[in-house]
Structure 1
Amino acid sequence: MNEFLKILEHEFELPLTNPVLVFSLILLIILISPIVLRRLNIPGIIILIVSGIIIGPFGAGLLEQNSAIDLFSTIGLLYIMFIAGLELDMNQFKANRNKSFLFGFFTFIIPLGIGFPVCYYLLNYDFNASFLTASMFATHTLLTYPIVSKLKVSKNEAVAITVGGTILTDTAVLIVLAVIMGNHEGTLDAAFWQRLGISLAIFSAILFFLVPRIAKWFFTSMENEKHSHYIFVLTVVFIAAFLAELAGVEPIIGAFLAGLALNRLIPHSSALMNRIEFIGNALFIPFFLISVGMLVDITVIFSGPTALIVAGTLSLVAVLGKWLASFFTQLTFKYSAAQRKVIFGLSSGHAAATLAVIIVGYNSGIIDENILNGTVILILITSIVATLATQRAATKLKAEVERDLSAEVQKTDSFKNETILLPIANILNFDKLLEFAILIKDKVSPNPISILSVVPNNAEAEVNIARATNKLEDFVSQASAAEAEVTIHATIDQNVAQGIARKSKEIIADLIIFGWPSEKGLMDKLIGKKMERIIAANDKTSFITHFGQPLATHKRIFAIVPSLAELEPGFILWLKKIDILAKELSVPVFINCNETTKKAIQQELKKLKIDTPVTYQLFSDWNDFLILGRDMQEEDIIILVSARKGSRSYQNVLSSIPAKLEKYFFNKSRIIIYP
């Protein structure tokens, strides 16, 4: 018994050293934090940081800052930066890159401009110490990005330019750090700049030219190995972080750029994206936030008035500088108050980059202990301020977005309770069909995607119904991986077309998505047989799809629209679906149509506030349809907007075009839309 007690005493000796016990304690905090959060109405990030203070070496001393804690902390920080780059709407980022540059300039130069004279004249530090400390004010860590991500406002323009500005200002600060260190050590010469420039050029080339090509090959070759996709992504993130370090900048820059490099290959509603966000938000990011709290030494408050004065001054300058940067950004771009507060909340948190700058300066003897201690207090204060500001502003911004969306739904007669039906014909290719449906589904609709199998009404009907149901169950797990709800239906009918039409009416479907007919010999009369009966049997907007490669590897949507298509009832629906698909895949849209239809599309896009990059080419000679082949690119998704017989936009030539698509563009992904 005594021996057992000794073992027990040893295991619980502070600080805890047993890795299983340490990990269990941190997991317990991550588990309990949301419960405490709900009861106290405090943002979860603050709870995690305060928990880190309590259990850390400067609190109760339960844990020490060791290599294991540092490892998980680093992973969490890299994960935050990676997700920020991955969730960035690249179409919007490209359209607003000048705004990101300007915000990056504001959030760098304003804190630096305020901080330097305060440190140099008010706190009486020398040039190097004042400039290094002032540059620290310009950095910010996206501590509160998980808040905007969780509230689904990460694609707002204000968030996009803040994330883009982060990479610019942090890179500038880290270059300033390298320059000051070079000046301090006397190594700031032409060779320094040459070495830095070459290493950054090589790093950028690897990340933006080599990595996307390797990723595309991997996702295509290993299309069915879904779990290996996640491991591949993690590998890219950490290799990119390491290469950034070799290039002379912080690993967080590499992680962010890895997110940008893989952005287009990981659709935002995909199962892979869901896995990345789930693991990060459940484990790595909370671990990082707890480790930030473990860095805070609250005893510096009692170490004398100088420490308090320095800490208070640094915190005030840090908050003021970021507020002014967000204020001038709001004035320049005419943003709302909620957008200004989101920008301020996201950019006012100081943690990793700030600490990295100050510790390097402290170890080199450039700054003293007062600045170091004041920075630790600054991290705590700005973390709380940033969290509260982001939580309130993001909640308000979400309400504004939902209000605008609700008004848009009423104005455009959009399908707020949209239902998508997927009739199943070929079980082998159905996974791509389901993935496509998940991507284009209206995210505000609570209705599940309906998968349907029509069984002939014969003596074996009951057995066939059971078999069909068992097969369809496999696709429920595929949808669950992307957090998409799916319902399965197996029905009996004498005719497949009539069975689909009847079920579409029963569930009030808005959109039916079919796979491309695969029977040989059918293509010369593609819509003249089975598919024609199915299309003619229902009056729902129908998509007939074929994807020759993984959806994420496409680079453009190539749409062909007939005259008078704007007069069809399904015009707004298919236009919105093309926009959603373009956003999910981060690709531009190229539309071929006549002048009247072009104006109608432009007017509708403006009304819907759609900012997807769209290029137009005038086209009206449908008898010479194949001439469009010269403008198609290898990785296009060809979308033909067709028409049903008897509709206003129907013309006889449309019935022959699907066969031409099959014959001349058989290796391309293609969609035929029947409004």
Structure 2
Amino acid sequence: MEKTLSFLSNNPLVAFTILLLVILTLPPLFERIKLPGLVGLLFAGVVLGKNGLNLLDGESETMHLLEDIGKIYLMFVAGLEIDLGEFKKTKDRSLGFGFATFIIPLIIGTAIGRFFDYGWNGAILIGSLFASHTLLGYPIVQRLGVVRNEAVMVTIGATIFTDISALVVLAVCLSIHQGEFSTASLILQLVALGIYCIVVLFGLDWAGKKYFERTGDEESNQFLFVLFAVFLAALGAQVINVEKIIGAFLAGLAVNDVLGRSPVKEKIEFMGSTLFIPMFFVAMGLLIDIPIFIKTITTQFPLMLAIVLGLIVAKFLAAFISKIIYRYNFNEGMTMWSLSLPQVAATLAAALAAYQAKNVAGERLLNEATFNSVIVLMLVTSILGPLLTARFARNLSVPKAKLEDSSEKRDIILSELLPKAEPFAPNHPFTIVVPIYNPTTQRNLIEMAALIARHESGLIVPLSVATSHVHMDSPQLNTRLYKSREMLGEAVQLSQEFEVESQPAIRIDDKISHGISRAAREKNADLIIMGWSKTFGLRARLFGTVIDSVFRSAHCPVAVMRLLDEPVNIHHLLVPVKNITPEMIRVIRFAHLLADTNQGSVTLLHVCRRYTSSSQIATFKEDLLNVVNQFGFPVTSEIKTITHDNISQVIIKESKTYDLTVLRSVRRQTAGGGLAVSDLTTEILKRLTGSLVLFGEPENNS
């Protein structure tokens, strides 16, 4: 038995397999009981470590390697997810709040350290752990549609200041602890750090843009370039005697502008949130010594309580002062507090670095009692922060979208609604590109496109993409072209039945998605209508689908349709509406256009939480009615409000009584800690059984 356990704990392949099993199973289980998935990973580390089953050895080279990779990836993703564009819009207030939510926790944390007899270096380190924050609540404010609220934008922007400042303080504390501190060495260290920051931030940004320009659509090479840049930055930080997580965070900021919202960024985040970052949290669990952890709770309870309450009070004071200075209302101030409360990414990475740092006498910078207290702090704030965000952010207001003047509303068509390039020719007809690649869905797609084109006095472009071959005379390519001509011939006949002009097109391209988006651009299309395909599962998340790629690369709106009945039989449309945003307004208008082509009706469904006040519901309905009145389509519209806490369940139930459900395409996001957060649209798509349209826009417009 002992030999078996020894084999299991020392075999790297066994350790890796166990980690994969843990990551696959435990986070979903803990999320079902309303706990963050990372709590499950920490729990797994404790159970599988030396105080449990002893299946994983936290001191093995394998775990050290995976821990380092996960720590670097965690800080890289934390930097990558900071929206520099939003920071620039509110940079003055972001820096103001960032300074407040850095310096106040730093002072309070230092005071707590001194009170419990820590030296100045250790006390300041504790303060620096208080100073940063992780945007675990970002997916919540995004789902609620209040990201554009100034208080939210200011808090997001403040993350840059707090994280960088906290990491700089960490670097100085580590240098002092390891006996390498003097006035001259401090100045030299700060100068080296400043030069290093400039080289990473501007050098990687420049190199990344040049490399991406040269490689075009070679996503695999771009993915490897980004990984190389991250670990090169981390290695460079170690060269100048700075903790490697600082380099990883700076690398995230540097390549942020290069990646934008490209598929490469999504794959990088997916790889981290699915594999490396969870392994880091499991490794953190392996470091928790249960007897000492229990001893900390019992004998060092005042220290642990002081750290947790001190952080909560410090972040509250920073938000309260900023609320007064910038004249924010109560809900805005409380949202700023709740968003800045969670201590996960930078805090845990810095705590681990301080815990592992030893001086010449073998003393740790951060002892086990404080390290365990930081773990408790992370658990408390990662649960409390998102709960408070969900409570207060729902009451925030956002700048209202500008609607068109009513004198023009009868002349509005879809091509005028959405941002697009200038037409290549005057009197540009409304053009719909319909990719043809599935004979079973072809008829309904062409029929729907024909109805819209006839309504807008436009034309349709049935498109068939034949994937390219090295040799243009290859038999495989000839076969594909022959099948393409057959399908396009059928598509032309269908369009003639509806008396709509059609311009069939065949394109040879290396990828189907590229062929669709490029052909649509060449035709100056106003809309792309595509058939539905599965967008879930591991393969789709890793490599993407044709739909994903077209959503990213198309210059015009894309409507992905799953039609279980002929379009002429679709009369009653359901549009779930969470918030009134410019993107949602365009979805609603598109639904009215669809209904008008078939003399149908549209029901706008708003599902609100049980504790939403009647005045808030009435105001929302009034605003939504004003939006609908701007369209000018002679369509019967109904606004239906249902109070319920399970939004997806209500939408799925209501959809069964309608002919078609129209949803807005919403991209998956990850929390600042890197763990994936599912969105409402994805959940609905998995369970909705009727006809649907998923409406999305070019990424630079949405």
Counterpart Cα distance in 2 of 1:323 and 1:466: 65
Question: Per the alignment, in what secondary structure is the counterpart of residue 6 of structure 2?
Answer: coil
Distance in 2 (alpha carbons) for counterparts of 1:89 and 1:220:
22
Q: 1:170 aligns with which of 150, 166, 170?
A: 166
Pair 1:96 & 2:90 matched: yes
Deviation at 1:126, TM superposition (A): 4.2
Counterpart of 1:235?
228
The offset of 1:208, in angstroms, is 3.0
Matches within 5 A, 1:36-185: 36-65=29-58, 66-120=60-114, 122-139=115-132, 156-178=152-174, 180-181=176-177, 185=179
* 1:283-338 per-position Cα deviation (integer Å, ceiling 9, x unaligned): 11211222222222231255486544434434443443334334434444423423
Shift of 1:230: 0.8
Give the Å deviation of 1:409: 8.9
Q: What's the CA shift for 1:54?
A: 1.8
Structure-2 residue corresponding to 1:249: 242
Q: TM-score, normalised by structure 2?
A: 0.55
Alpha-carbon distance, 1:466 to partner: 3.6
SS of the residue 2:462 aligns to: strand
- Aligned partner (choices 6, 16, 19) of residue 26 of structure 1: 19
Q: Distance in 2 between matches of 1:200 and 1:469?
A: 64
Distance change >3 Å, CA 84–CA 128, structure 1 → 2: closer
Aligned mates of 2:460, 2:38 — CA distance in 1: 40
One of 322, 339, 344 as aligned partner of 1:342:
339
Q: 1:111 to 1:213 in 2, by over 3 A?
A: closer
Q: Find the residue that maps to 2:501 and give its secondary structure.
A: helix
Pick from 348, 351, 355 the counterpart of residue 351 of structure 1: 348
Query: Contact conserved, 1:77 with 1:285, CA < 8 A, in 2?
Result: yes
In the alignment, structure 1 residue 391 sits paired with structure 2 residue 386: yes
1:271 Cα offset (Å): 1.6
Shift of 1:58: 3.5
Map of 2:501 onto structure 1: 499
Change (3 A) 1:357 1:246: same
Task: Tell me the amino acid that sits aligned with residue 70 of structure 1.
Answer: H
The CA distance in 2 between the partners of 1:498 and 1:379, in whole Å, is 67
What does 1:588-607 correspond to in 2, within 5 Å? none
Match of 1:374 among 365, 369, 377: 369
User: In 2 relative to 1, CA 44–84 (structure 1 residues): closer, same or farther, beyond 3 Å?
Assistant: same
Shift in Å, 1:341: 0.7
Instruction: Give, as a single letter, the amino acid of the residue that structure 1 aligns with 2:257.
Output: R
Kept in 1, the 8 Å contact 2:97–2:154? The answer is no
In structure 2, what is the Cα distance between the partners aligned to 1:165 and 1:31?
A: 35
Query: Counterpart in 2 of 1:222?
Result: 215
Aligned to 2:283: 291
Deviation string 1:585-638 (CA, Å, 9 cap, x unpaired) is xxxxxxxxxxxxxxxxxxxxxx99xxxxxxxxxxxxxxxxxxxxxxxxxxxxxx
Give the secondary-structure state (helix, strand or coil) at the position aligned to 1:249: coil
One-letter amino acid of the counterpart of residue 46, structure 2: I
Deviation at 1:153, TM superposition (A): 7.9
Q: Report the CA distance shift for 1:87/1:301 in structure 2 as closer, same or farther (over 3 A).
A: closer
Structure 1 letter corresponding to 2:317: L
Q: Distance in 2 between matches of 1:325 and 1:385?
A: 19
CA distance in 2, matches of 1:264, 1:163: 17
Q: State the 1:40 CA deviation.
A: 1.9
| 1:203 equivalenced with 2:205 (yes/no) | no
Structure 2 counterpart SS, 1:16: helix
Q: What is the CA–CA distance in structure 2 between the aligned matches of 1:381 and 1:411, rounded to whole Å?
A: 55
**Partner residue of 1:566?**
none
* Partner Cα separation in structure 2 for residue 463 and residue 133 of structure 1: 65
Amino acid at match of 1:166: T
**Secondary structure in 2 aligned to 1:124?**
coil
User: Aligned letter for 2:372?
Assistant: I
Which consecutive unaligned segments of at least 5 residues does structure 2 have?
421-429, 437-458, 465-478, 506-515, 529-550, 554-581, 588-625, 628-697
Looking at structure 1, the residues matched to 28 and 413 of structure 2 have their Cα atoms a distance apart, in angstroms, of 36
Distance 1:264 1:141, change over 3 A: closer
Partners of 1:33 and 1:469 in 2: CA distance: 50
Partner of 2:456: none
Change (3 A) 1:372 1:267: same
Aligned to 1:478: none
Match for residue 267 of structure 2? Answer: 275
How far did residue 189 of structure 1 move?
A: 2.6
Would you say the 8 A contact 2:319–2:336 is kept in 1?
no
Change (3 A) 1:493 1:205: same
Q: Does 1:467 align with 2:461?
A: no
Change (3 A) 1:316 1:60: farther
Retained in 1: the 8 A contact 2:144–2:394?
no
Deviation string for 1:231-287 (max 9, x for gaps)? 11111111112112323432222222212222222122x221221222122111211
For the structure 1 residues 251 and 348, does the alpha-carbon distance in structure 2 shift closer, same or farther, using more than 3 Å as the test? Answer: closer
Equivalent pairs, count:
468
Alignment partner, residue 252 of structure 2: 259
SS at structure 2 position matched to 1:13: helix
Asked if structure 2 preserves the Cα contact closer than 8 Å seen for 1:80 and 1:285, the reply is yes
Task: Name the % identity.
Answer: 26
* Alpha-carbon distance, 1:32 to partner: 0.9
What is the SS of the residue equivalent to 1:63? Answer: coil
Code of the residue aligned with 2:96 in structure 1: it is L
Superposed CA offset, 1:429-453 (max 9, x none): xxxxxxxxxxxxxxxxxxxxx9952
Once structures 1 and 2 are overlaid, which stretch shifts more, 405-414 or 201-210? 405-414
2:237/2:243 contact within 8 Å kept: yes
- After alignment, is 14-23 or 228-237 more displaced? 14-23
Letter in 2 for 1:164: I
Q: Which residue of 2 aligns with 1:453?
A: 462
Alpha carbons 2:46, 2:288 under 8 Å: kept: yes
Q: Verify the 8 A CA contact 2:26 2:40 in the aligned structure 1.
A: yes
Structure 1 residues 144-185: Cα deviation after superposition (integer angstroms, max 9, x where no partner): 878889999888515522421333332332244156437xx4
Asked whether the 8 Å contact 1:453–1:491 carries over to 2, the reply is no
Aligned equivalents of 1:352, 1:190: Cα separation in 2? 28
2:359, 2:294 → 1: CA distance?
Answer: 21
Looking at structure 2, the residues matched to 379 and 241 of structure 1 have their Cα atoms a distance apart, in angstroms, of: 24
Letter in 1 for 2:347: H
- Which whole-Å CA distance do the structure 1 matches of 2:61 and 2:368 have between them? 22
Query: Cα deviations across residues 552-600 of structure 1 (Å, max 9, x unaligned)?
Result: 99xxxxxxxxxxxxxxxxxx89x999xxxxxxxxxxxxxxxxxxxxxxx
**What's the secondary structure of 1:42's corresponding residue?**
coil
> Which deviates more, 220-229 or 488-497?
488-497
Q: CA deviation at 1:135?
A: 4.0
- State which of 304, 314, 318 in structure 2 corresponds to 1:321: 314
The Cα of 1:372 is off from its aligned counterpart by: 1.2
Distance 1:34 1:301, change over 3 A: closer
| 8 Å CA contact 1:75, 1:284 repeated in 2 | yes
Question: What do residues 82-138 of structure 1 show as CA deviations (whole Å, max 9, x unaligned)?
Answer: 223223222211222333433332233223322333333x32344444444444443
Q: Does structure 2 retain, via aligned residues, the 8 Å contact 1:74–1:288?
A: yes
1:300 equivalent in structure 2 = 292
DSSP 3-state at the match of 1:453:
strand
Residues in 2 aligned to 1:515 and 1:48: alpha-carbon distance in whole angstroms? 46
Are the equivalent residues in 2 in contact too, given 1:88–1:160 (CA < 8 A)? yes
Give the 5 Å matches for 1:480-519.
498-499=500-501
